[in-house]
Copies of this chain bind each other. A is one copy, B any other.
Amino acid sequence: GQHSLSVRVVAAEPPRGLVQEKMTENAAFSQNKVLTIDTMNPNVKKMEYAVRGPIVQRAMQIEKELREGVKKPFTEVIKANIGDAHAMGQQPITFFRQVLALCSYPELLNDNMFPEDAKSRARRILQACGGNSLGAYSASQGIDCVRQDVARYIERRDGGVPCDPDNVYLTTGASNGIVTMLQLLVCGEGASKTGVMISIPQYPLYSAALAELGAVQVNYYLNEDKCWSMDLSELERSLAEARKHCNPKALCVINPGNPTGQVQSRQCIEDVIRFAAKEHLFLMADEVYQDNVYAEGCQFHSFKKVLFELGPQYSNTVELASFHSTSKCYMGECGFRGGYMEVINMDPEVKAQLTKLVSIRLCAPVPGQALMDLVVNSPQPGEPSYTTFMKERTATLSLLAEKAKLTEEILNTVPGITCNPVQGAMYSFPNISLPQKAIKEAKALGQVPDMFYCMKMLEETGICLVPGSGFGQKDGTYHFRMTILPPTDKLKILLAKVKEFHLRFTQQYS
């Protein structure tokens, strides 16, 4: 009886029994893990980064499915989600890469295949490196001669406003500089917790870094009706509101704008500086798109230059950090993670702390530092590489200007899509009207409506955009960000597909 029963059970149900045991074991393991979603750093959980978020992960899956022969209504995924110029076919500047090759393998200095100016740049950089090697750590603040070259570049750019190389820090891309500055600024708890004002829409590095640091994100809205300009009254509203529950200490501006593509006027920058001075705010100016200005009548004005033009009352007091990078402009060298920041009017004791902080990470990648040097010390008239360099630079920037115009024009032909001019940077951030039925369906699925829209576009057309909700937008408005970087022929296909999709989507949900 008992014996045979036991045998029967064992014989009849071994697989289920085994599976069950294994599952229980796994559950026990998972419960027993030291590091779980419940025990990990809660600030990290709060961080979000839409530019590489769920939609991009799905795009990568779809690419894999296409490779495996899965049938789709399209044959390739077009990624317009990230400002990754080389990945979109933009060619690197020949001179930069020649010098980098020479620095990497100095044997090539003995060869006749490279122009003399490339060789002399490489020699100069190598002489400033420990053991004449890119493989040595640099000083934590960056290679001396590179910081000097950066300072001279800033002086030329700003019509002679002086720049002290000692205020220049080389960084691992601009992102690293921005996070480092925010890290210095953040302190306090409760109502005295540091608040940082950021534009909405914003580049999500800012919101992510603030979440990571446990600081308060203070939103100010850009004025979409006035081509994403900054309104003083909106800054005042935002600040007054924030002061009720935190201690706002810094104001971040991205100019030219990401994701919104505007170029702020000189007047606007002046207003912002006066506002920061009056309200006792540390200014952070993200100026990585400083060469990416396309629209007629628009011009890049650095915060530093305007600050100095406002006179000593401002230039001696307002604290400013500005950021630049090798990743954007005509270079598009994202992979090298090169960048710098300049700090103005920083308290010397704080500056010593900043230098200590960066020393713990040892140094920014030296190849990226070398590349940053070439950007700020590019071939000059009379040097052998000058003509080619200028031709390449101009070609890239002209093409971007064309694509900016093209994008704006085509998008504005679509009923239900309204698009500000892409005055600068690398993105269009059009406003899209979504039918109520679509909004309802999205909400029923637990999705933000523009995520629902972009995901559907990806599945139906293979086009990968980032929903506006990933950058922030006024409640009840919807947008997407697309880069203008795909090659012109592909960009035209992309825009035609977006148009087609939007019409179909609108019809489907009307």
Given A35-B282, A335-B129, A347 and B135 contact (CB-CB distance below 8 Å): no
Q: Is the CB of A52 within 8 A of B175?
A: no
A37 to B100, CA, bound (A): 40
Given A280-B32, A282-B34, A87 and B136 contact (CB-CB distance below 8 Å): yes
| A168-218 CB contacts (< 8 Å) to partner B | 172-173, 175-176, 183-187, 204-205, 208-209, 212
Q: Is the CB of B101 within 8 A of A105?
A: yes
A66 to B84, CA, bound (A): 47
Say yes or no for A430: interface residue by CB 8 A criterion.
Answer: no
Say yes or no for A357: interface residue by CB 8 A criterion.
Answer: yes
Q: Is the CB of B336 within 8 A of A44?
A: no
| A9-41 CB contacts (< 8 Å) to partner B | 29-30, 32-37, 39-41
Which residues of B lie under 8 Å from residue A205 when comparing CB positions? 360
Which residues of B lie under 8 Å from residue A67 when comparing CB positions? none
A83 to chain B, nearest CB (A): 9
Query: Which of B40, B250, B350, B365 is A187 in contact with, Cβ under 8 Å?
Result: B40
A130 to B85, CA, bound (A): 9
Which residues of B lie under 8 Å from residue A88 when comparing CB positions? 131
A18 to chain B, nearest CB (A): 16
Say yes or no for A362: interface residue by CB 8 A criterion.
Answer: yes
Say yes or no for A413: interface residue by CB 8 A criterion.
Answer: no
Classify chain A's interface size: 35 or more
A241 to chain B, nearest CB (A): 19
A56 to chain B, nearest CB (A): 9
A422 to chain B, nearest CB (A): 21
Say yes or no for A159: interface residue by CB 8 A criterion.
Answer: no
Stretch at the interface among A89-97, A381-389, A399-407: A89-97
Say yes or no for A450: interface residue by CB 8 A criterion.
Answer: no
Which residues of B lie under 8 Å from residue A353 when comparing CB positions? 37, 40, 44-45
Say yes or no for A447: interface residue by CB 8 A criterion.
Answer: no
Say yes or no for A443: interface residue by CB 8 A criterion.
Answer: no
Q: How many copies does the complex hold?
A: 2
Which residues of B lie under 8 Å from residue A98 when comparing CB positions? 105
Say yes or no for A47: interface residue by CB 8 A criterion.
Answer: yes
Q: Is the CB of B136 within 8 A of A347?
A: no
Q: Is the CB of B100 within 8 A of A33?
A: no
Closest to A335 in B: B366
Q: Is the CB of B350 within 8 A of A40?
A: yes
A363 to B205, CA, bound (A): 13
Which residues of B lie under 8 Å from residue A347 when comparing CB positions? 30, 33, 35-37
Q: Which of A85, A88, A336, A365 has the most CB of B within 10 A?
A: A365
Q: Is the CB of B84 within 8 A of A136?
A: yes
Closest to A138 in B: B335
A205 to B360, CA, bound (A): 6
Query: Which of B41, B108, B138, B334 is A101 in contact with, Cβ under 8 Å?
Result: B108
Q: Which of A42, A204, A360, A367 has the most CB of B within 10 A?
A: A360
Q: Which of A34, A319, A334, A361 has the most CB of B within 10 A?
A: A34
Which residues of B lie under 8 Å from residue A175 when comparing CB positions? 360-362
Q: Is the CB of B47 within 8 A of A360?
A: yes
Q: Is the CB of B135 within 8 A of A332?
A: yes
Which residues of B lie under 8 Å from residue A104 when comparing CB positions? 97, 100-101, 104, 367
Query: Which of B39, B137, B208, B281 is A87 in contact with, Cβ under 8 Å?
Result: B137
Say yes or no for A502: interface residue by CB 8 A criterion.
Answer: no
Say yes or no for A456: interface residue by CB 8 A criterion.
Answer: no
A336 to B33, CA, bound (A): 35
A475 to chain B, nearest CB (A): 25
Say yes or no for A249: interface residue by CB 8 A criterion.
Answer: yes
Q: Is the CB of A187 within 8 A of B282?
A: no
A473 to chain B, nearest CB (A): 20
Say yes or no for A317: interface residue by CB 8 A criterion.
Answer: yes
Say yes or no for A477: interface residue by CB 8 A criterion.
Answer: no
Which residues of B lie under 8 Å from residue A37 when comparing CB positions? 347, 349-350, 353
Q: Is the CB of A130 within 8 A of B84?
A: yes
Say yes or no for A154: interface residue by CB 8 A criterion.
Answer: no
Say yes or no for A86: interface residue by CB 8 A criterion.
Answer: yes
Beyond the given pairs A34-B280, A173-B362, 4 more chain A to chain B contacts, judged by CB atoms under 8 angstroms and listed by A's residue number, are A48-B356, A172-B365, A335-B367, A337-B365
A sample of 17 cross-chain residue pairs with beta-carbon separation below 8 angstroms, ordered by A number, consists of A32-B317, A35-B184, A35-B282, A35-B319, A37-B349, A40-B185, A47-B356, A49-B359, A86-B129, A92-B135, A104-B104, A104-B367, A134-B335, A135-B336, A172-B365, A204-B360, A367-B368
The 7 closest A-B CB pairs, nearest first, are: A87-B130, A335-B366, A101-B105, A86-B133, A87-B136, A135-B333, A100-B104
